[in-house]
């Protein structure tokens, strides 16, 4: 039994006990029947599982509803690691990977508490035969190893035509035709009825799938002067009917013309096709006395429009005339304004008179009977301005004529008596007499106190232009302008000035003192008396009282205030005093400042002052050594100090040291300065750092350090990825010397058993991802011509250091068994590689009195076929038999030598083909064995 037959029977035995199940996949649409498959081989990562499904079947199972999940839970065997399904997180959304569509929330079938937010858990497994949450989903890392679950579809690209959807049925498929197509493969388009010819028109069609068949489209158009009634484009629909009725061509119709549309004239029309239709013509003429406006001949064109509008007959007209300026015109028109027979009458407005004929008539010659008349303005007498005034006129037409208005304005300082505006009337008279101008008066004034007043009045007492002078009595000064004048506004140019008492120089209070004055005629004026007084701490040096005389001077100068004195001061021990006296050394207000030597601070008040009681306010302070802030030992270190004065005071020095394994970060020594601060900050003790470590290639590094990464006391552990072995110690520690206790290990790929030769009569090509024949290595196998591969065509070195499959062998190709049932034909065969295998040769002979019809030697080729068909034997004549006997001896010898040569050639070929060939080309993945289908 051949290998292909054995594999086929094995497949049907596995699947015979299972059933076909049709599941309605609503997200894809229609009833779909899938054949499910699962892998019984090693568990795989998600990406490896999908590649295997796409290679051997259609894709991974999507699991789109609970009914499908429950069915799989019943049929699938339990896998401790469960099964991958075709669901992944893509761009943050859970997605069916085959259709690349997001999964609606209601279609997601998560187990309780899932999906979680763990990092990189983007692939989905289904719990099969689990005690809790069975047939539910769980998100996992895609690198995990789980079972593979695939499906196969019945539909292919060749199942139906391009005008159909292939719909899965139970174990088969049907073609669902697109609208407009019929037939088992939906390849034939539906036919519509033929279209008739169009009178006065034509049509043009495009046939996508045959004449008058589905989707055929026809465009209709009419001749010039005709209009299409109906749809211009028709299309054959999926129902077998055209989408619109066949259209018609109708002659273009122009708007109807009536005789009433053309007045004061006559119209004559002709209609060769239809009344007022395409090619109809009309002629127009006007009555006597009227002229034609427009075209006298028009025609209906192919667009259904007249070539021109209907003309009109208009009456002849005279030139337009207008009313005279400031005049009126009244016209009577028989037809239109200013047309033949129109008559116009003229009048002038008030204040104007008419010059010319008052009536004009429009004649048949299109001219008026007389020139247009005009209106002239009425004139008044000229005017003279009154005394102390000037006059200003506005003349809308001409000077001193009707409508002129004149305004009289008095000079500055004069008031108007009478109306100041007069107008020229339509009778030639002024409306008012001109006014007179009278000088303005100012208020009465009186002489100031302690003074006298004298005035001059050119225009009347205390009126515009009056001038007055003011003088003061002896002992007083004029406060203001001596002369005042009555202005044009009827107001004095300024107030009447006052006479004020003579002033003495302003007195200032003595420095550190004050003055008190009595002023009968104003501050510091004649008769004022002032008394001086001193502040506390000062005494008066001079006479206290003084008086302002009539000459404007003080009879006695103001005295001064001198500061009181305090006792002389001395500097305190270990310090010095500096004094400043605004009023003299050690006098009232003097201030003394005490300072200490460097490194000492003042114990008491820095400044003292001389008081008004001639005593110093506080005692002299003392000088004490300065203190620095208290210091503490650094963490993981100690502090030792020397103190020449007091602990942590000026002159103290402290030194820091660190424990073993730590180094000082900063300056070891610091001094307490004269400023009361330390010269340097206390340094810190930092753990010594070891060289930075990195993860071994194909490995991981995990470190923990109490004092920081890669620092004293840090502890690091190295591990390797799956498929790699750790070479060296896994753990190392950062010592107090700043070096690692052990060197970093390496991760080497886990080795597989060495493949040192190809299968006999075959070839082997290997590629090595890491080291030769280690994890990641792949080897492909193929056989020489005439041999077939028994076993897998590719093996891979897996993470456990084992080859994924047993190595294959090359078996010779087998030809059909040959049989000779009876004489006179006989057969003699040799089988170097097995009975009737590649390389077998068979020699055929016939008994005496018979001749061979066909090839005497048959060879089994590398394709598994014999070089020719089995010959047969036919009878010979007597003459032919004698010739045969004569040549038998020589022919026999030649045949034997030929067989020996052929055997040697075949042996040489097999020896050459048996050499092993290795290459670095990529190999195939792990072989998977489909365990069931349904």
Q: Is residue 176 assigned to a domain? A: no
Q: Is residue 920 assigned to a domain? A: no
250 neighbors 226 (Cβ within 8 angstroms): yes
Q: What's 429-462 look like in SS3? A: CECCCCCEEEECECCCCCCCCCEEEEEECCCCCC
Q: Note whether 264 and 245 are same-domain residues.
A: no
Q: Note whether 486 and 527 are same-domain residues.
A: no
CA distance 210 to 190: 9
Q: Is residue 197 assigned to a domain? A: yes
Q: Note whether 24 and 75 are same-domain residues.
A: yes
Nearest Cα residue to 933 out of 150, 395, 313: 150
70 neighbors 115 (Cβ within 8 angstroms): no
Query: Please, which residues have CB within 8 angstroms of residue 865's CB and are 6 or more apart in sequence?
Result: 815
What does the DSSP assignment read for 385-415? PPTTEEEEEE-SSSTTBTT-EEEEEEPTTEE
Final residue belonging to a domain, choices 205, 232, 251 = 251
Q: Cα separations (Å) of 896 from 35, 443, 468, 733, 902? A: 60, 175, 178, 84, 10
| CA 535 from centre of chain | 81
**Domain interval for residue 497:** 451-501
Q: What's 209-276 look like in SS3? A: CCCCECCCEEEEEECCCEEEECCCEEEECCCCCECCCCCEEEECECCCCCHHHCCCEEEEEECCCCCC
Q: Note whether 613 and 641 are same-domain residues.
A: no
| CA 224 from centre of chain | 57
Residue 913: per-residue pLDDT:
35
End-to-end CA distance of the chain: 27
Q: Is residue 780 assigned to a domain? A: no
Q: Note whether 600 and 670 are same-domain residues.
A: no
867 neighbors 861 (Cβ within 8 angstroms): yes
Q: Name residues of the chain where pLDDT drops below 50.
A: 1-33, 170, 877-934
The CATH number of residue 610's host domain is 2.10.70.10
CA distance 64 to 85: 10
Q: Is residue 181 assigned to a domain? A: no
440 neighbors 413 (Cβ within 8 angstroms): yes
Residues, the chain:
934
Residue for token pair 């037809």: 335
Query: Looking at residue 107, what DSSP letter applies?
Result: G
Nearest Cα residue to 139 out of 161, 160, 111: 111
Q: Is residue 764 assigned to a domain? A: no
CA distance 677 to 378: 113
Query: Please, which residues have CB within 8 angstroms of residue 95's CB and are 6 or more apart in sequence?
Result: 87, 88, 89, 101, 102, 103
Q: Cα separations (Å) of 4 from 168, 733, 786, 790? A: 28, 62, 17, 11
| CA 25 from centre of chain | 38
Nearest Cα residue to 247 out of 307, 177, 279, 200: 200
Residue 168: per-residue pLDDT:
66
Q: Is residue 108 assigned to a domain? A: yes
Q: Is residue 763 assigned to a domain? A: no
Q: Note whether 529 and 468 are same-domain residues.
A: no
Q: Note whether 306 and 198 are same-domain residues.
A: no
Greatest pairwise CA separation for the chain in angstroms: 201
Query: Count of domains in the chain?
Result: 11
Nearest Cα residue to 713 out of 656, 636, 637: 636
Residue 44: per-residue pLDDT:
94
Give the tokens for residue 785.
């011509």
CA distance 709 to 40: 47
Final residue belonging to a domain, choices 267, 292, 315 = 315
Nearest Cα residue to 753 out of 736, 734, 738, 774: 774
Q: Note whether 432 and 456 are same-domain residues.
A: no
Q: Note whether 842 and 821 are same-domain residues.
A: yes
Using the CB atoms, write b or e for 613-646: b if 16+ within 10 Å.
Answer: eeebeeebbbbbbbbbeebeebebbeeeeeeebe
Q: Note whether 34 and 98 are same-domain residues.
A: yes
Residue for token pair 């020397």: 642
423 neighbors 402 (Cβ within 8 angstroms): no
Q: Note whether 822 and 899 are same-domain residues.
A: yes
Q: Note whether 199 and 298 are same-domain residues.
A: no
99 neighbors 49 (Cβ within 8 angstroms): no
CA distance 932 to 146: 17
Give the tokens for residue 23.
């599941």
The CATH number of residue 55's host domain is 3.10.100.10
Contacts 24+ apart (CB under 8 A), 567-572: 567/614, 567/615, 567/616, 569/608, 569/616, 569/620, 570/620, 571/620, 572/620, 572/621, 572/622, 572/623
């Amino acid at each position: 039994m051949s290998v292909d037959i054995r594999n086929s029977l094995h497949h049907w035995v596995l699947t015979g006990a299972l059933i076909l199940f049709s599941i309605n996949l609503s997200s894809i649409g229609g009833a779909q029947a899938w054949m499910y498959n699962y892998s019984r081989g090693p568990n795989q990562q998600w990406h490896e599982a999908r590649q295997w499904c796409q290679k051997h079947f259609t894709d991974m199972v999507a699991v789109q509803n609970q009914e499908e999940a429950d069915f799989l839970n019943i049929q699938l065997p339990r896998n401790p690691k469960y099964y991958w399904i075709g669901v992944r997180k893509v761009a943050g959304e859970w997605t069916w990977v085959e259709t690349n569509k997001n999964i609606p929330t209601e279609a997601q079938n998560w187990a309780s508490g899932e999906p979680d937010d763990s990092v990189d858990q983007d692939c989905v497994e289904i719990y099969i035969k689990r005690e809790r949450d069975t047939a539910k989903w769980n998100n996992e890392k895609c690198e995990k190893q789980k079972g593979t679950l695939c499906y196969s579809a019945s539909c292919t690209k060749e199942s139906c035509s391009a005008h159909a959807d292939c719909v899965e049925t139970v174990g088969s498929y049907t073609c669902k035709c697109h609208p407009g197509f019929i037939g088992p493969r939906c390849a034939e388009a539906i036919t519509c009825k033929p279209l008739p010819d169009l009178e006065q028109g034509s049509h043009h069609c495009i046939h996508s799938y045959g004449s008058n068949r589905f989707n055929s489209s026809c465009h209709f158009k009419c001749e010039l002067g005709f209009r299409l009634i109906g749809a211009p484009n028709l299309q054959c629909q999926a129902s077998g009917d055209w989408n619109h009725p066949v259209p018609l061509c109708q002659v273009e119709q122009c708007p109807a013309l009536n005789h009433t549309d053309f007045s004061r004239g006559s119209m004559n029309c002709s209609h060769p096709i239809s009344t007022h239709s395409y090619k109809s013509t009309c002629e127009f003429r006007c009555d006597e006395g009227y002229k034609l406006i427009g075209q006298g001949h028009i025609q209906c064109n192919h667009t259904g429009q007249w070539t021109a509008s209907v003309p009109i007959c208009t009456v002849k007209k005279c030139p337009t005339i207008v009313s005279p300026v400031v005049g009126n015109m009244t016209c009577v028109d028989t037809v239109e304004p200013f047309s033949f027979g129109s008559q116009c009458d003229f009048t002038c407005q008030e204040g104007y008179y008419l010059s010319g004929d008052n009536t004009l008539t429009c004649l048949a010659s299109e001219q008026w009977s007389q020139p247009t008349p005009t209106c002239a303005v009425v004139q008044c007498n000229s005017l003279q301005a009154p005394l102390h005034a000037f006059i200003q006129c506005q003349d809308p037409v001409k000077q001193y004529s009707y409508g002129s208005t004149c305004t009289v304005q008095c000079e500055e300082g004069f008031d108007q008596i009478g109306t100041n505006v007069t107008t020229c009337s339509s009778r030639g008279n002024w409306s008012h007499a001109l006014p007179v101008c009278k000088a303005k008066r100012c208020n009465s004034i009186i002489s100031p106190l302690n003074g006298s007043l004298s005035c001059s009045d050119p225009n009347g007492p205390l009126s515009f232009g009056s001038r007055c002078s003011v003088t003061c009595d002896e002992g007083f000064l004029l406060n203001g302008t001596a002369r005042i004048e009555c202005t044009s506004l009827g107001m004095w140019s300024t107030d009447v000035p006052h006479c004020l008492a003579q002033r003495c120089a302003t007195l200032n209070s003595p420095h550190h003192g004050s003055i008190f004055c009595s002023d009968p005629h104003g501050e510091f004026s004649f008769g004022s008396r002032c008394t001086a007084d001193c502040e506390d701490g000062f005494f008066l040096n001079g006479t206290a009282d003084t008086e302002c005389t009539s000459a404007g001077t003080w009879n006695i100068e103001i005295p001064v205030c001198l500061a009181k004195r305090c006792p002389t001061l001395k500097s305190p021990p270990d310090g010095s005093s500096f004094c400043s006296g605004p009023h003299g050394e050690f006098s009232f207000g003097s201030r003394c400042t005490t300072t200490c030597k460097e490194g000492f601070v003042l114990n008491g008040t820095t400044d003292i002052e001389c008081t008004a009681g001639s005593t110093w306010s506080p005692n002299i302070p003392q000088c004490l050594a300065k203190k620095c802030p208290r210091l503490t030992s650094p963490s993981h270190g100690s502090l030792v100090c020397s103190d020449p004065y007091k602990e942590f005071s000026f002159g103290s020095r402290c030194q820091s040291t660190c424990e073993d394994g730590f180094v000082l970060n900063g300056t070891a020594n610091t001094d307490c300065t004269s400023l009361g601060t330390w010269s340097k900050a206390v340094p810190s003790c930092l753990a010594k750092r070891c060289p930075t470590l990195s993860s071994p290639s194909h490995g991981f590094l995990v470190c923990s350090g109490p004092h920081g990464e890669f620092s004293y006391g840090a502890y690091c552990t190295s591990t390797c990825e799956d498929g790699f072995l750790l070479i060296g110690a896994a753990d190392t520690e950062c010592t107090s010397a700043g070096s690692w206790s052990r060197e970093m290990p390496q991760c080497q790929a886990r080795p597989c058993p060495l493949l040192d030769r190809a299968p006999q009569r075959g070839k082997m090509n290997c590629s090595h991802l890491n080291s030769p024949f280690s994890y990641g290595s792949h080897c492909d196998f193929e056989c020489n011509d005439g041999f077939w591969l028994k076993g897998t065509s590719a093996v891979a070195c897996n993470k456990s250091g084992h080859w994924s499959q047993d190595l294959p062998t090359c078996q010779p190709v087998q030809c059909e068994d040959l049989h000779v049932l009876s004489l006179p034909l006989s057969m003699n065969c040799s089988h170097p590689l097995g009975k009737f295998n590649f390389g077998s040769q068979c020699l055929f002979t016939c008994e005496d009195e018979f001749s061979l019809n066909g090839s005497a030697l048959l060879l089994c080729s590398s394709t598994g076929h014999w070089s020719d068909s089995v010959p047969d034997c036919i009878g010979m004549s007597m003459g032919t038999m004698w010739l045969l006997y004569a040549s038998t001896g020589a022919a026999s010898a030649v045949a034997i030598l030929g067989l020996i040569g052929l055997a040697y050639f075949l042996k040489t070929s097999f020896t050459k083909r048996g050499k092993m060939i290795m290459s670095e080309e990529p190999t195939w993945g792990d072989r998977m064995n489909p365990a069931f289908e349904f």
